[in-house]
Amino acid sequence: MAAASELFTHFIGGRWVEGSGGRTFERRNPATGALVGTFAQGGPAEVDAAVAAAKSSFDSWRRYPAPRRGELLFRAGQLLLDRKEQLAREMTEEMGKVLSEARGDVQEAIDMAFYMAGEGRRMSGQTVPSEMRDKFQMSVRKPLGVCGVVTPWNFPMAIPSWKIFPALIAGNTVVFKPASATPRMAIRFVEALEEAGVPAGVVNLVLGTGAEVGDAIVAHPDVPLVTFTGSTATGTDVAVRGAELNKRVSLEMGGKNAVIVMDDADLALATDGILWSAFGTAGQRCTAASRVVVHRAVQRELVERLVARVGGMRLGDGLDETVDVGPLVSARQLETVAEYVSVGKREGARLAAGGEVVREGALAQGHFHQPTVFDDARPGMRIAQEEIFGPVTALIPVDSLGEAIDVVNGVPYGLSASIFTADVNRAFRAMQDIFTGILYVNAGTTGAEIHLPFGGTKATGNGHREAGTAALDFFTEWQSIYVDYSGKLQRAQIDPVEGTGTI
């Protein structure tokens, strides 16, 4: 691990550089307040340099055979695997999630590296027959150029991997701006690519704020595509500004994910699923279960089970393996969560467990909030409509599956939902009628695997998907190619084909 006095820098054109302004920023461990590192703070000048490097390396990178690009990704994935434990510890120090989850975050990046590396030998298009004789036709994927990658702090390895690996395998080059809360993880990610042998200029990293670095990337005329994960407000702004410049923009934004618990559900399993998806990563997941839509017949029993378990959850530094819930990422995030808890109380939901900021003893230096359960919330309340991004969930009682589905769908977002039921008909009804990008049956709302599309409907996204082969649809353009080897002009839709009839 680097000494605290080391200055962590940008990576531009294959070199680690401090940039021009001389400004720096610090990151502190959200559990202890200890210094994680001091980082160069970039701005438009560093973005210009990074885009120039990415632009000039594009032509050779796009012609670097895709299976060879894949080999570099395999190597990067192997380096992440070799370093998994160390990276997980550094992640916990930098953003607070408990160690077991940090290992999962690194693993998700490893999985994505290996998966996208394999795409280097597939990247399938179509070959289809022609209407004419002696004519061949196919579609192939083409990269677009420099891809702007703007990522959040809650999955500091996994989310960059969802964006950067497919961007690279498709032959694009990258300018990467990570969240200011997780610059060290971004550096570790880029180090793996550098050491794997990715050529200079293909991946560039600029550290700094969204207002300076993120904005400059979105505004840069030489960045034709931007992929962003973060708040709906910022994402919408990126989309508007991107549209003015005719850019392709992929957005992953807020969620207000719900678990349905029917009266025939296995309540022990539902309790496990709810606790894991509501309080994992201290609720700071786009996919976190911040609503539990429960059938009235089992409401009381479910609340009792949840309250009994929540009381036993240990808060603390995620490096301690006995800890269940780590800190929130920042003092500001803690404030937001505390504010939502008071909103919930004012709105008349019943606080069933937790509800307090914790400042005692060993936790005094960190941003800790108790895991919190509200009961008897109504679907229109703010705590049942707005993304909280913290360890807070609200039970909403209903009388039927139809009502439950209406409640699940009755929010502006559409990322993830789940249903606990023993009845296959109810499960299929939920699959049919819930309009989210991800749906789970008899599991919580988190835990997506990297080889299926990830993303959401409505205000969660703008129609693109990350992960799976669907990711390639964002990072490539289709080119349809027609090869006429008849030696004569053949006009599609017009000329008759000798020896055939017409319909």
CA dihedral for 220, 225, 229, 232, sign (positive or negative): positive
10 phi and psi angles, rounded to 5 deg = -70, 165
Residue 406 CB, nearest distance to ligand UN1 (Å)? 25
CB atoms inside a 10 Å sphere around CB 496:
8
- 199 DSSP assignment: P
Contacts of 101 (CB under 8 A, 6+ apart): 280, 281, 318
For the chain, report the end-to-end CA distance as a whole number of angstroms. Answer: 72
> Between residues 154 and 370, which has the closer beta carbon with respect to ligand UN1?
154
> Between residues 426 and 465, which has the closer beta carbon with respect to ligand UN1?
465
> Between residues 39 and 153, which has the closer beta carbon with respect to ligand UN1?
153
Options 9, 41, 227, 287; binder of ligand UN1; rule CB under 6 A: 287
CA distance 258 to 407: 9
Binding mask 99-128 toward ligand UN1 (x if CB under 6 A, else -) reads ---------x--------------------
Residue 167 CB, nearest distance to ligand UN1 (Å)? 18
Nearest to 16 by CA among 236, 135, 186, 254: 186
Residue 12 CB, nearest distance to ligand UN1 (Å)? 27
Residue 446 CB, nearest distance to ligand UN1 (Å)? 3
CA distance 279 to 288: 8
Task: Give the tokens for residue 128.
Answer: 């289809």
DSSP string, 92-146: HHHH---HHHHHHHHHHHHHHHHHHHHHTT-----EE--SSSSEEEEEEEEE-SE
Residue 156 CB, nearest distance to ligand UN1 (Å)? 11
> Between residues 404 and 450, which has the closer beta carbon with respect to ligand UN1?
450
Residue 155 CB, nearest distance to ligand UN1 (Å)? 5
Catalytic residue numbers, as ranges: 252, 286
Nearest to 36 by CA among 17, 73, 8, 77: 8
DSSP string, 201-246: TSEEE--S-IIIIIHHHHH-TT--EEEEES-HHHHHHHHHHHHHTT
Among positions 156-185, residues that touch ligand UN1 (CB under 6 A) are 158
Options 286, 292, 401, 472; binder of ligand UN1; rule CB under 6 A: 286
> Between residues 397 and 437, which has the closer beta carbon with respect to ligand UN1?
437
Residue 252 CB, nearest distance to ligand UN1 (Å)? 7
Strand order in the sheet with 173-177: 15-17, 10-12, 203-205, 173-177, 146-150, 225-229, 248-252
Nearest to 306 by CA among 444, 186, 455, 208: 444
Among positions 129-158, residues that touch ligand UN1 (CB under 6 A) are 154-155, 158
Q: Which stretch binds ligand UN1 (CB under 6 A): 220-228, 256-264, 282-290, 345-353?
A: 282-290
Residue 32 CB, nearest distance to ligand UN1 (Å)? 24
> Between residues 158 and 396, which has the closer beta carbon with respect to ligand UN1?
158
Task: Give the tokens for residue 380.
Answer: 């229109």
CA distance 238 to 245: 11
> Between residues 179 and 334, which has the closer beta carbon with respect to ligand UN1?
179
Residue 289 binds ligand UN1, judged by CB under 6 A: no
With vertex at residue 359, the alpha carbon angle to CA 358 and CA 362, rounded to the nearest 5 degrees, is 105
> Between residues 116 and 202, which has the closer beta carbon with respect to ligand UN1?
116
Task: Give the tokens for residue 433.
Answer: 């009628």
Binding mask 432-451 toward ligand UN1 (x if CB under 6 A, else -) reads --------------xxx---
Q: Which stretch binds ligand UN1 (CB under 6 A): 66-74, 281-289, 381-389, 493-501?
A: 281-289
Residue 229 CB, nearest distance to ligand UN1 (Å)? 6
3 state SS of 196: helix
Task: Give the tokens for residue 409.
Answer: 């769908």
Options 10, 97, 285, 305; binder of ligand UN1; rule CB under 6 A: 285
Task: Give the tokens for residue 144.
Answer: 């677009």
> Between residues 112 and 260, which has the closer beta carbon with respect to ligand UN1?
112
Residue 253 CB, nearest distance to ligand UN1 (Å)? 10
CA distance 417 to 423: 17
CA distance 298 to 293: 11
Count, residues near ligand UN1 per rule CB under 6 A: 10
User: What residues line the site for ligand UN1 (CB under 6 A)?
Assistant: 108, 154-155, 158, 285-287, 446-448
